[in-house]
Every structure is written in structure tokens, then in C-alpha cells.
Chains A and B, each alone.
Chain A
Amino acid sequence: MIALLLSCQGPAGDSAVPGDTPTTPTTTPLPDAALLRRMSLDLRGTLPGLDELESLESGQSIASLRDAMLTDPRHAERLVMLLSEQWLTLTEEYPLTAEMVGFGPDEEYPFRRAVGQEPLRLLAHVASSDLPWTEAVTADYTLADDRLLQIWPLADLGASPQEGWRLARYTDGRFSGGVMTTNGMMWRYNVALYNRTRAAAISELLLCDDYLSRPISFSSPTLVTEGDLNLATQTEQACLNCHATLDGVASALFGFEFYDFYSLDELSIYHPERERLGEYYLSAPPSWYGTPLDGAAALPAAVAADGRLVDCAVRRFTEGLWRREVAVEDFAALQELEADFVAGGLRVSALLVAITDTDEYRAGEHLADADDISLARIANARILSPAQLADAVEQLTGYRWMFEGFDQLDNDTWGYRVLAGGVSPPSVEEISEDHTVTRDLVIKRLAQAAGRHAVDSGALDASITPDDAAFSDALIALHRRMLSATPDADWLSDAEALWRDVAALSDAEQAWASLVSVMIRDPAFWTY
């Protein structure tokens, strides 16, 4: 059940009723070139190519360009990072380090990311391969890279749908539950509590039913022993509010229960002999929201048949592309999107097409008479996530900010992911949609290094000077690559002046490096 709680106070709550979506546009539509850039960054994580921009300007429809993006291999890569903002599996905290499982210390980052990406890769595979979304919870396979194939009980199925990742199947007798039964999920949501954390994660991530949001009010009973706690979860009304359903799901996950936090085998191998221990520890046989299950193996079918799985997919993908949480005011819009999703056979590509066709997704400038609610709700300019920023800069300059083998925009042990506005699970679980001082500092350092790298690596031809006829064309091409727009005369004049000032202090290479750096720092680049 998705419970949408409305406040009775405040300007929205006074009049808002589900379905009460404003029908009068409050924004101008984004120009086609800017929309192409937004779609490319959202669906592929990269800037559109100059050839795509020219095709658009030559009359090719944006819909056909979008269709091509959805079949681009980079689409799956983008989905991995988009979903990571919601699934929060790219964490810095796992029970085991690379060295503990037999890899070298320099493999810590790729090992961590392999573990965290496993569930995301499976979800991205289902989405980008046009499989019905229910496959996400019923698939009898996963995706694994060479490291995971080496340490986990997996059989390589031969196909490689994503670069460096292969289809694989667990060989330890676990039931086929798609993303729910991946080790990546189990390692991420590994807090004990008899699998209740895992059950709550499944509920929140797949059904958008967050147990932690449920109201709890009770006078404190005596909860000294584990027995007291278990009794309370079965008898106290406030506890039953969650545990009456949560414990049945947790009970179905006891095959993943481990007794040693530092044993690779204990953590990696499914333990079917523990499957029915939930009845002992929780006094609850496996069930799905009150409906008894014929054992753990019946869980995937129950989840797939739950209508909330579809509701939640619509909500999550919409929030990912609208860059905001949806609210009760969005009810009608979500219903329309869900209708398109269902009509499309629960293929995520159909849903993404529908979302990117919405006025809100295509929002450009706010109209002068837009009300405060619309101004607050609709993101007419989105900020690049750390992953989008890293990919776009690498595409442009060839530069990837690495240190000690760690991607600096994708970790918080050595890097700056959270400072750049990203999530850092489990401590920071929401991306920042605001520009902050720390984000600005990260972009500054990234821009400086990337600008220099572009010159040093030859990604940018630094031999061109204002004395060359090609200089102006080079500036225009650079502007179009970065911003998907042709610069006006004022910008060209300012850019040339900047170039000349820096060259006068240094040389032509530094002038180009500085120009690229300044352009990366320009909000027009890191927003879309």
C-alpha cells in the first residue's frame, strides 16, 4: 500500500487533491537543442555529439534521436548510476575488503563497485533489454564481472550484455528472485535484525513502501531481553503496524542469514538449511503482506504479482528524470505514465519515453506569472550528478579524476562524491539538487585538471591561435560540444579575450586549458 500523507496546512495542502495537477503551463518548453542535451545526459550520461546536434538542426525529430539513445550501450551504464541514487548500493562499507577476499589492495575500489553494481547492473539489463519489469524480481540470473565470478558461487552463462559484465547464475541453490537475491543487495543491506532490514529495503525499493515512515506511538514496554522484543513485535499494536507484515518477508530471507561477518563463504553462499529458521527466530512463517507463502521460493512470484511493483517503478523512474520527489499532486500524471508503462508491456523504455514526453520533463524557463508552488516544484535547470559530471568531462577532455585507483567522483573514502552533491550511503541517502560551496570547489579542481589534460593528451588542438582562421571555428565547435548551442558574437569576443590574456601570461596551451576549465565551471555546463 502506498500511503500518501497530505498536510492540512500550507498553501499546497489547502487545496491539493490527488489529480489536481495544474493544467496551465507554468514553464516554456525547452528548445530542441537544449532538450537533446537534457535527454542525452539523462539517458546516456553524456553530452550529445555534434553529429546529433546537426541532425536535429537538419530536421531529424528529437523522438528518433531519443530512440537511438535508448539503444545506445551507454544507456545501460547511465541507468546503473541513476538507479544507484535510489538503491544506494554503491557504498563504502562492506563487511569484507578486497584483501580479505584475495585481491590486491589496489583492487579495493573496483571490488567495492563490483559488489555494489551487481544489483544495479541486473536492473539496468532488464530495463535496457526491453524485458518486462517483473523480470527484475524473478530473473534466475544476475550480472557479474570477473572479480565476482571469481569469488562468488556463480556460473558464467556466456553472454556479455554490458561491457565487462556477464550474465551469470548462482549455483548455491538460492531461489530465483532477480535483484532481491543478489549478493550485492544482501551485502549492502546486511544489518542483522533477523533480515528485517533486508525486508524493509525490498519493500521500500521495489514497492515504495517505507516502513520507517510509518507512525509509531506507544508507551514504552519493558524491552530488556530479546524475548521481550520478540513478544512486543507480536503483541504491541504499535509494533504490529510494521511487524505484522515485515516479519513475514524477513522470514523468507533466512537463507541469507550469516553467522560470521568475516567469512567470505558465510556471506557469499546461500544457506538453504536456514531457510525456515524465520519461524524460530521471528515466530513468523514466510508471507507476503499477510498472504502465506509456500516457502522462500514463492516470494518472487508474490512480489511480481503485487500491483505496487508497477506503481513504484513509475514513481522511481519519474523521480529520477524529474529530479524531484513526486507528491500527491502528481497522482494524475503518474497514472497516465503508468498507463503508458502497462501498455508498453512493462518495458522501461516505454516508461522513459512517456516521462521524457511530459511537460515537466521538457520544462524550460519559468513563466513570469508562475506561482510559488510551480517555481518550487519544477526543476527547469537540473544540476549534473557527480556521475554525469565525470562522464561528460571525460567525454569532452578524456580526463577521469582518479587517485589511488579510486574514481574521485564516485567514492568518499578518498574522493569527493558527496561533496559534489552525490549520495554516500548509508550516511547520505539523497542527492543534492542545490548548488553548494563544496560542489563548486570540486568542479573547480576537476575543471582545472581536465582542461590541462585535454591539452596535454591532444584531445584539444592547442596549436590553433587567434591568428589562425580556424580559431573562431574551434571556439564555436567547443561551445556546441559543451552546451549544444552556437555561441553569439559577444561570447566569442569574450572567449578570445580570455584566451589572449592567459596566453600573454603563459602560452597557447595554457590559454586553451584555461578556456576549457572556465567553460566547465560555467553553470551553463554543469546544469542541463
Chain B
Amino acid sequence: MLLLLGCAPATCPAGSSPGTDGLCYLDDEPEQTDTTTIEPTLSEAEAIAALSATLAVGLPEPMGLAAQYASTISSNGDSTCPFVSPPSEEGAEGGVWAGDCTAETGWRFSGQSLYLLTTLSEDALTTQTLEMASSFEMTAPSGAIFQGGGEVAFERLTTGTAVAYEGHIGGLYAYPEGSGWLSEVSSTALLYAGGRDEGGAWLTLNGGVGVGEQIIDFIDLSLDTTVCDGAPSGELGIRDGTGLWYALTLDCDTCGTLSWLGEPLGEHCIDLTAPLADLRDALEEG
């Protein structure tokens, strides 16, 4: 601990000593950070198996969520419940609603939500943007609840066969009666950037997903057919019961080194083909 004095002191107080710079330093310097060794609760094999199982559920993506949201309202709401104020923007659909009501279908809508899906075309370029900021519950007569709370932003530019997109989905979105990830994912924060043209396709993922007790994440995980022939690079993580993370580092390969607290363990492989192909399809075309 350094005592900064406007004027250099002639002497230092008890418990401190002068440094070579003329300033006083406390004798009891802070201790170093405790780096206690913690043993993981999952074995290497269990960690990889849990990672694969979580990926198999599918990864959250904005357009599928938007489709579920829009169809739930259009199929189960009525003209006043929820009362949706339509957007004034050109090419936009959706709108804003807030309240707590029960529609003629028996569905109950509560909360508030802004949902705008805008499609604009100019010459050969089509720009599609999705914006959602919501906190809602839509309850079916059966008692099943479609719950959403969070933020979604997504933009996709399409021209001919080329597409580029960027966006994120963050929040708690769940619908047990839905399909794919929406029926099982508990919480998410995923950021996407990618595209496709005649040269190939690329996708970069950051963020994480929770499915029940399993938590996985991605740090700059990319699949780029123009660089690695589509093999993944980056890091996949799975959170251990200790609250610390296993990390599987990939470098243009489906196999890589699994590490724990920075210490390399063994080589492990993981198949990302199916889950990421579905995600890429949704982001490019959904």
C-alpha cells in the first residue's frame, strides 16, 4: 500500500517505510491472491459427454423465436387481447403491447413486449431486421406457458445467393410445448456473426447457453469454410459443479485439448456438425 503525499514526508509513520522514490509504503503489503487448487466434479469424459448432449438440444436463434412468438399471438390472441399497437415504420410487422388479459381462445397474455420484424428491399439487396425487447408470459388453456424476458437484435442482408448477418439473443425464453431449443433451454446469451457467398460460409459464436443443470459457452468459436475447410476453431466451455470451467480448445479441427484452470488434460473430439448446421441454416434463411 502506497501513501501518496502531496509533499514528500521527512519521515514515515509507524508501520510504513520510505521507498526509493521518497514516498511511504505500508509494511503490511496485501497478500497475494489465493490460488487454491480445486478439483473438478466432472471427469474429462463426463465433461465432453455433457458438452455434446447440451449441443444436441440445439442452439437458440432469433428467427425461430420470432416465428414462435408471432404465431402464438396470431393463432391464440384476438383483436383486443393482447392489444398490439402496430408499427408505423415501412416494411415492419409486429408492434407493442402491454397488459394482462385473456383472449377468447382462453389464452392469457401478460407482460409487455416490443417486437418489430422489418423487411426492406432495394434493388437486389434485402435487409431484414428483428428487434425484440420483452418480458411476457403467454399461458395456454392447458397451463403451458410460453415465457420470454430479454432482448433480441438481428440483422441480415441478402443479395442474390450471398447473405451476411449479425445479432444476439439474450434472456430467458422457454416454451415446453415448443420445439427444439425453445423447449429445453433455460437461459441464454449468444452473439452471432456470419455469412455465406460463393467462396464459402462462415460463422462466429460467442456467449453461452443453459440447459437444465448444464451450462456451456463459446469464446470466438468459428466455422469458416474459406479458412479451415469448415473445421471449428476457438473455445468451447462447460461449467463444472465447482463453478469453474472446462475449456476445449479447437484449432481448425474437431479434436482439441481439454483444459482445467489453464492446465491441459487430454485430447478430445466433438462433433459440431449437426447443431451448428441447424443454427447456420436458421441464421441464413430462417
Contact = CB atoms under 8 A, between A and B. Distances in A.
Contact of A301 (B10, B36, B209): B36
Nearest to A295: B244
Given A17-B11, A19-B13, A19-B14, A277 B30 contact: no
A152 to B, nearest CB: 14
A280 B206 contact: yes
Given A295-B244, A295-B245, A332 B13 contact: yes
B234 to A, nearest CB: 12
B13 to A, nearest CB: 3
A7 B6 CA distance: 6
Nearest to A7: B6
B150 A266 contact: yes
Interface stretch (A60-68, A254-262, A473-481): A254-262
A226 to B, nearest CB: 13
Contact of A307 (B4, B30, B215): B30
A314 B150 CA distance: 41
Nearest to B235: A276
A435 interface: no
B114 to A, nearest CB: 11
Which of B38, B187, B237: most chain A Cβ within 10 A?
B187
B217 A276 contact: yes
Contacts of B112: 262
Contact of B29 (A271, A295, A307, A331): A307
A424 to B, nearest CB: 28
Contacts of B9: 17-18
A458 B243 CA distance: 58
A296 B245 CA distance: 10
A259 B171 CA distance: 6
Interface residues of B, number: 59
Interface stretch (A119-127, A286-294, A358-366): A286-294
Which of A260, A298, A304: most chain B Cβ within 10 A?
A260
A271 B189 contact: yes
B135 interface: yes
Contacts of B188: 273
B16 A18 contact: yes
Contacts, number: 169
Contacts of A260: 133-135, 149-151, 171
Given A3-B4, A271-B189, A272-B239, A297 B244 contact: yes
A18 B1 contact: no
B189 A305 contact: no
B187 A271 contact: yes
A296 B10 contact: no
A357 interface: no
A274 interface: yes
B33 A328 contact: no
Contacts of B237: 276
Interface in B64-120: 112
Interface in A272-329: 272-277, 279-280, 288, 291, 293-298, 301-302, 304-308, 311, 328
B208 to A, nearest CB: 3
A307 B1 contact: yes
Interface in B7-53: 7, 9-16, 24, 28-36, 38
A269 B36 contact: no
Contacts of B245: 275-276, 295
Contacts of A335: 13-15
B243 A259 contact: no
A6 interface: yes
B151 A259 contact: yes
Which of B16, B150, B189, B219: most chain A Cβ within 10 A?
B189
B217 A273 contact: yes
Contact of B244 (A259, A263, A280, A294): A294
Contact of A173 (B36, B150, B189, B243): B243
A260 B169 CA distance: 11
Nearest to B243: A297
8 contacts: A259-B150, A259-B171, A260-B171, A265-B149, A271-B189, A273-B208, A277-B207, A294-B262
Closest 10 CB pairs of A and B: A19-B13, A263-B149, A273-B208, A259-B170, A297-B243, A307-B30, A263-B135, A259-B150, A18-B13, A259-B151
Interface of B: 1-7, 9-16, 24, 28-36, 38, 112, 133-135, 147, 149-151, 170-172, 187-189, 191, 206-210, 215-217, 219-220, 237, 239, 242-245, 261-262
Given A263-B171, A273-B187, 11 more contacts: A1-B2, A2-B1, A6-B4, A7-B6, A8-B7, A17-B13, A18-B9, A260-B171, A277-B206, A305-B34, A306-B30
